[in-house]
């Protein structure tokens, strides 16, 4: 698992257990490895496997790579991976933190399945094939249909579960006086959200959450106040 330093520090900062705080960054990494083992569940034919930590590697760009091993049934028919990482933490009333992962999974000597999404609502299910011979090809094409379905479902859930997004869009919609204005507002919001999310995911531009979150709240208040106090100027 390749996790961000932000995820690791958030889990440590909101830890509600009675254990003392970590004295070093290395101790934080070690603790997060144990945390992941508790919140990452791997099942082989509906039997949960026991996981152990094999290796922790800190990268230069604040990412940390954890290598885990889960042992149990030999040659299972189906594997299922679930996770609830950071979901016990509420960053706003009614909204829990969400850590999602891009997964790569393969059976021994077979092509890998790339780009799969692992989130709280979408566990990763993999059917093993031990009967047929392993194909000779080195790689398999992406299952684009499955990937698109997973990401669209996750994106819709992300928007509908984030009341800050909905409040901001509602505030913008109040300023639209024609259908064309509404189309332009919603399109601009979608493009802006896509651009900032892409820059963050690709680690091109990453802003601290203690700056971004107040700015989101402030933008909602600003647009709402503008609609109330200066409706003629803000509309259209």
Instruction: Quote the mean pLDDT of the chain.
Output: 82
**Six token digits for residue 81:** 């991976």
User: CA–CA distance from 71 to each of 5, 115, 157 (Å)?
Assistant: 28, 24, 33
> 63-71 and 101-105 as β-strands: parallel, antiparallel, unpaired?
unpaired
The pLDDT, as a whole number, for residue 142 is 65
Pairwise CA distance, residues 200 & 195, whole Å: 9
Q: Are 177 and 232 in contact (CB under 8 A)?
A: no
The pLDDT, as a whole number, for residue 203 is 76
Q: Which residue has the higher pLDDT, 100 or 231?
A: 100
**Six token digits for residue 228:** 């109330």
Give ∠ CA 131-137-142 in degrees, rounded to 5: 95
Pairwise CA distance, residues 13 & 7, whole Å: 10
How many whole angstroms from its chain centre is CA 13?
Answer: 19
**Six token digits for residue 98:** 């969400």
Q: Which residue has the higher pLDDT, 38 or 133?
A: 38
Q: Is the pLDDT of residue 138 over 60?
A: no
Residue count of the chain = 236
Q: Report residue 15's pLDDT band, with 50, 70 and 90 as the boundaries.
A: confident
Q: Is the pLDDT of residue 201 over 80?
A: no
- Mean pLDDT value of segment 130-145: 67
Q: Is the pLDDT of residue 137 over 60?
A: no
Q: Which residue has the higher pLDDT, 51 or 134?
A: 51
The tens digit of pLDDT for each residue in 88-125 reads 888 766 677 888 888 888 888 787 887 788 888 888 89
Pairwise CA distance, residues 51 & 33, whole Å: 11
N-terminal to C-terminal alpha carbon distance within the chain: 48
Tell me if the pTM is above 0.75: no
């Amino acid at each position: 698992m390749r996790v961000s330093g932000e995820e690791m520090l958030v889990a440590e900062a909101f830890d509600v257990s009675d254990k003392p705080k970590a004295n070093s960054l290395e101790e934080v990494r070690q603790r997060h490895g144990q945390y992941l083992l508790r919140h990452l569940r791997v099942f082989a034919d509906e039997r949960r496997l026991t996981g152990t930590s094999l290796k922790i590697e800190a990268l230069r760009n604040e990412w940390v790579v954890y290598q885990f091993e889960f042992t149990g049934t030999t040659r299972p028919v189906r594997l299922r991976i679930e996770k609830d990482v950071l979901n016990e933490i509420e960053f706003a009333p009614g909204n829990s933190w969400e850590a999602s992962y891009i997964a790569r999974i393969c059976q021994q000597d077979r092509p890998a399945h790339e780009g799969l999404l692992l989130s709280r609502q979408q566990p990763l299910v993999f059917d093993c094939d031990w009967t047929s011979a392993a194909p000779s090809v080195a790689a398999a094409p992406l299952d684009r249909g499955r990937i698109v379905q997973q990401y669209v479902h996750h994106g819709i859930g992300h928007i509908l579960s984030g009341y800050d997004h909905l409040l901001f869009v509602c505030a913008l919609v109040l300023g639209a006086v024609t259908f064309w204005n509404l189309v332009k507002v919603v399109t601009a919001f979608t493009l802006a959200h896509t651009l900032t999310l892409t820059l963050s995911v690709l680690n091109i531009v990453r802003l601290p959450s203690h700056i971004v979150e107040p700015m989101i709240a402030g933008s909602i208040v600003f647009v709402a106040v503008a609609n109330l106090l200066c409706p003629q100027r803000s509309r259209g």
